[in-house]
């Protein structure tokens, strides 16, 4: 890509870090707002983890497809 793989890896790591830090707060806010029980909000099937991997792969695929440099740099 034109921006380099290091920027892509750094942005993905920062995004995952922010998501893991904000996850419990968002989960508790949803639980308090709707009055759901704690056990109904537990990620028993690891849906969130699998979804993050899927969205990460989609993001990387689109990034490479859109930012694909031409074969002739001039």
CA angle (19, 41, 37) in 5-degree steps: 135
Q: What are the φ/ψ torsions at residue 70 (nearest 5 degrees)?
A: -70, 160
Q: State the pTM of this model.
A: 0.40
Q: What is the mean pLDDT of residues 28-49?
A: 68
| pLDDT tens digits for range 2-30 | 566 767 777 777 788 888 777 777 777 77
Q: Give the separation between CA 7 and CA 12, rounded to whole angstroms.
A: 9
């Amino acid at each position: 890509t034109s921006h380099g793989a290091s920027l892509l890896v750094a942005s993905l790591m920062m995004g995952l870090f922010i998501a893991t830090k904000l996850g419990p707060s968002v989960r508790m806010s949803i639980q308090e707002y709707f009055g759901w029980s704690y056990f109904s909000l537990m990620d028993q099937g690891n849906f969130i983890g699998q979804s993050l991997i899927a969205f990460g792969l989609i993001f990387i695929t689109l990034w490479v497809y859109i930012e694909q440099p031409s074969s002739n740099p001039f």
